[in-house]
Amino acid sequence: MRRNLHAGRLRSNGLGLKVLTQDEMEDIHLATLEVLERTGVFIEDVEARDLFAAADCQVDAGQGIVKIPPYVVEDAIRSAPAKLVLCGRSSDNDFVLEDGRVGFTSFGEGLRVVDPYTGETRDSTKQDVADCSRIIDALSDIDVIERPVGAHDVPQDAVPLHNAEAIFTNTTKHAFIAPLTGYLAKRMRDMATVIVGGSDNLRERPILSWVVATISPLKVTHDVCQIIIEGARSSVPVLICPNAMAGATSPVTLAGTLVTHNAETLAGITLSQIARRGAPVIYGSATTAMDLRFATASVGTPECALLSASAAQIARRYLLPSWVAGA
């Protein structure tokens, strides 16, 4: 089991970054509660809306808008686990995700690769997924794996399952994979169940986490809802990871973007907890700013770093494990 060093602790060495003061985090939290209660979130999935309604939320079925009272949100934050053990196929690669511990992962999804033999730039294949996974498995400083590239040479409606097969068979580390639909999430769960030897073993030692992204501003799609619900019921951790762009799909100010980002994340976390109290969930962020020259997401920029650091700080305030994007 891997327990990486703590970051930001009072000691004679190390480095910590605190973007927000305690008062600023409280302002963002209160603004988020106001957005969730008064504006609400568009929830596309009927089953999810029914779960919210049963949890005393105000549901407009015609518009698909769910307004979540503050006490429901804060109860969900309290019930979500503060610590997760991200299990690998080998227990030597179990990774403890808890307050203050920092780890590293690969990042995806790359669309094209430079062929290592010909130098040609081409679309990635399932074999590339397998090869990259094997390389990541050998890198001791990479704690868990997120799908590095995608398989473009297989039927596209089943890509997540092909990605999962290539990753599972080429790494002993915990895997983060985006299943894309609720149906594919269930099939991926079945694959993992066979690998670990049964559903009880998967609940005890989940070897994968699912990655979902909300649609900014303030929308959670049918498939994302289904994946969150299935993850809660199967005890598969779900990383809820908004991909907002300041100046495009969220307010141009970083503080305003953090409010909408936080509202989307907490809406997903609340859904997971009303589906099953105590379900494993991770506070995520791939939120950044829009590059105004090209109308694209700017990754590896100061704005991305500030938003990621702020998201991790907010997650820590909530006593939730976090996963944020880097360069």
In a domain, 269, yes or no: yes
**Both structure tokens of 301:** 């920029």
In a domain, 47, yes or no: yes
In a domain, 62, yes or no: yes
Average pLDDT over all residues of the chain: 93
In a domain, 154, yes or no: no
Domain that holds residue 258: 22-103+174-324
Task: Say whether the peptide bond before residue 217 is cis (omega within 30 degrees of 0).
Answer: yes
pLDDT bucket at 76, cuts 50 / 70 / 90: very high
In a domain, 130, yes or no: no
In a domain, 160, yes or no: no
In a domain, 216, yes or no: yes
CATH of the domain at 212: 3.20.20.480
In a domain, 60, yes or no: yes
Which pLDDT does position 5 carry in this prediction?
73
pLDDT bucket at 15, cuts 50 / 70 / 90: low
Give the pLDDT confidence of 211-237 residue by residue, as tens digits. 999 999 999 999 999 999 999 999 999
Q: Is the pLDDT of residue 8 over 80?
A: no
- Under a CB-based contact definition with an 8 Å cutoff, are residues 171 and 133 in contact? yes
Strands (E), 12-102: 41-43, 58-60, 65-67, 84-86, 95-97
Cα separation of 119 and 205, whole Å? 40
Please state the pTM of the whole predicted model: 0.92
Domain count, the chain: 1
| Across 16-20, 65-69, 183-187, least confident range | 16-20
Residue (of 10, 5, 70, 75) closest to 36 by Cα position: 70
Rg (CA), the chain: 19
Which pLDDT does position 6 carry in this prediction?
74
Which pLDDT does position 136 carry in this prediction?
96
